């Protein structure tokens, strides 16, 4: 029996009594967590159920064992012949969990829609509805002003006469 679960945007295959490193979960060590974002579920009989997008009626309970940090990942960037080199690194946080139980949970209870009572329906029908407000009349356009004409060019200055020498 196993289940494919989505935790923090990543998919994991979970089996009962299996330990697994997952992205950091916001829970203290020793606390129980439940996962309900189950994408696929394979029961003990071997019947595979694939969710659309999630499988309903199945819950996974797990215990957070510890939190830690992965090994350092080096990020090195370089552009040839440009003198550009950058070296960075980081360590991802993780949570170590142990899967306690994979099983069909109780069926989610559908909330019944409350039907209005007959007396309430009559009251609503008796209320006068407000008449719709008349729309504002369209304003008539005023005559558009003519566009200004281009400014007259100033008279050209007379050129200086050439000196004869």
Domain ranges of the chain: 2-79+86-102
What's residue 32's pLDDT?
95
51-107 pLDDT, tens digit per residue, is 888 998 899 999 999 999 999 999 999 999 999 999 999 999 999 999 999 887 544
Number of C-beta neighbours around residue 23 at 10 A: 13
Distance between CA atoms of residues 96 and 102, nearest Å? 17
CA atoms within 13 A on the CB side of 146: 3
What's residue 109's pLDDT?
42
Number of C-beta neighbours around residue 39 at 10 A: 16
Which residue is it, tokens 């996962």?
Answer: 35
Contacts of 38 (CB under 8 A, 6+ apart): 3, 4, 5, 6, 51, 54, 55, 58, 60
pLDDT band at 122, cuts 50/70/90?
low
Say if pTM beats, i.e. exceeds, 0.85: no
Q: Identify whether the C-beta of residue 3 lies closer than 8 Å to the C-beta of residue 37.
A: no
């Amino acid at each position: 029996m196993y289940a494919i679960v989505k935790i923090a945007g990543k998919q994991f295959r979970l089996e009962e009594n299996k330990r697994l490193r997952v992205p950091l979960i916001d829970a203290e060590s020793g606390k129980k967590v439940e996962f309900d974002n189950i994408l696929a579920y394979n029961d003990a009989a071997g019947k595979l159920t694939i969710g659309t997008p999630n499988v309903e009626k199945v819950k996974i309970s797990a215990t957070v064992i510890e939190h830690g940090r992965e090994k350092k990942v080096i990020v090195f960037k370089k552009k040839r012949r440009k003198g550009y080199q950058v070296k960075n690194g980081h360590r991802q946080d993780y949570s170590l969990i142990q899967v306690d139980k994979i099983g069909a949970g109780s069926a989610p209870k559908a909330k019944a829609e409350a039907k209005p009572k007959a007396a309430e329906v009559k009251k609503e029908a008796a209320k006068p509805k407000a008449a719709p407000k008349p729309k504002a009349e369209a304003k008539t356009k005023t005559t558009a002003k003519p566009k200004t004409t281009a400014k007259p060019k100033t008279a050209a200055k007379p050129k200086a006469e050439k000196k004869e020498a």
